[in-house]
Amino acid sequence: MAVEVRIPTILRTFTGGAKAVRGDGATLQDVIDDIEARHPGLKERLVEENGLRRFVNVYVNDEDVRFGGGLDTPTADGDVVVVLPAVAGG
């Protein structure tokens, strides 16, 4: 078991086209670091210096982490992380 991370279309260039990848870690931050090791470049598209990128939404088990623990949100085997680019513009 591990954490399943759902990858949006636009970031599948980093995962060889895979819609989901597996990662390990006790927090969202750890999981992102873990998948970065196998899919280099992905992390930079998700996080910046001060946390999650503003126009990236991340949900752990259906909860938007921006309203919870952010990158410190705990994760465990069997959890599902969904990454959705914000649909936004001007």
Binding site for another protein (CB under 8 A): 8-10, 55, 57, 59, 62, 64, 66, 82, 84-90
Q: What's the closest the beta carbon of residue 6 comes to another protein, in angstroms?
A: 8
Pairing of strands 80-85, 56-60: antiparallel
Q: What's the closest the beta carbon of residue 18 comes to another protein, in angstroms?
A: 15
- Which CB atom, from 34 or from 79, has the smaller least distance to another protein? 79
The sheet carrying 63-64 orders its strands as 20-23, 3-6, 80-85, 56-60, 63-64
Closest CA relative to residue 28, chosen from 55, 1, 68, 87: 68
Q: What's the closest the beta carbon of residue 82 comes to another protein, in angstroms?
A: 7
**Calpha distance 49→47 (Å, rounded):** 7
- Which CB atom, from 13 or from 37, has the smaller least distance to another protein? 13
- Which CB atom, from 64 or from 72, has the smaller least distance to another protein? 64
